[in-house]
Amino acid sequence: HILYLQNCEFSDMLAFGLIFAHLPDDSVLHLSNSSPVRYAQLFQGKSSLLYLSNRGTSGIDGVLSSAAGYAFLSSRINTVIIGDLAFFYDSNALWNRHLPPNLRVIIINNGGGGIFRLIDGPAEKSLLEEHFEARHAMQAAPLVQAYGLECFVAENEKELEAGLQELYKDSRGKAAVLEIRTPGPQNAEIFQKYFHYIRGQEK
């Protein structure tokens, strides 16, 4: 697993590896559907973390709102890892005068519903990009900044390392967001190659 990540190009897979390496101990992790939950299962869990997830409607309804509400009543750092479609769908959660300062939002922006490239069925259909994946070129940072929050942006491994360090600074006194922009179509290939790699290691 570690060896695969060492040679992995910038992608959702590599991003999740780096995120899990930086998650603070004794914190709360909220996992959005559907890709974040699937990727999270590939990494060694931390016993000091509390893992939560909210299915919502079609996997995207109210994910950010639920995490913000939980964080409001929590004394721990709360991180929500959320895909771009789920974030844009529930972005009004940031329009909250009582948004808790212990909330950290990590957006995996791969330009659409990447889950449909990972599961059987939709990935094989000609209507994938428009009707299943809902490809787009939107960026989350301008929207986040419109709500008065700081948003760090990462488009490569070096920027992601720096963004994660900024996100979890002890001195941060308000909620903050990290937008990770990854290459949509390549993510599925890297995800599938990981399982080929695992099967090769088991032989």
10-residue mean pLDDT series, the chain (203 residues): 78 93 96 85 91 74 92 97 92 94 96 56 52 69 96 97 95 92 81 74 56
The residues near 197 (Cβ < 8 Å, ≥ 6 apart) are 4
**Sequence-ordered alpha helix ranges (H) in 90-183:** 141-146, 157-167
* pLDDT at residue 110, as a whole number: 87
* pLDDT at residue 79, as a whole number: 98
Three-state secondary structure call for residue 46: coil
By the 10 Å C-beta count (0-12 exposed, 13-18 middle, 19+ buried), 149 is classed as middle
Q: Are the CB atoms for 78 and 71 separated by under 8 Å?
A: yes
* pLDDT at residue 131, as a whole number: 45
* pLDDT at residue 60, as a whole number: 67
CA 152 to CA 160: how far, in whole Å?
Answer: 9
* pLDDT at residue 14, as a whole number: 93
* pLDDT at residue 56, as a whole number: 62
Tell me how crowded residue 63 is: count the other CB atoms within 10 A of its CB. 27
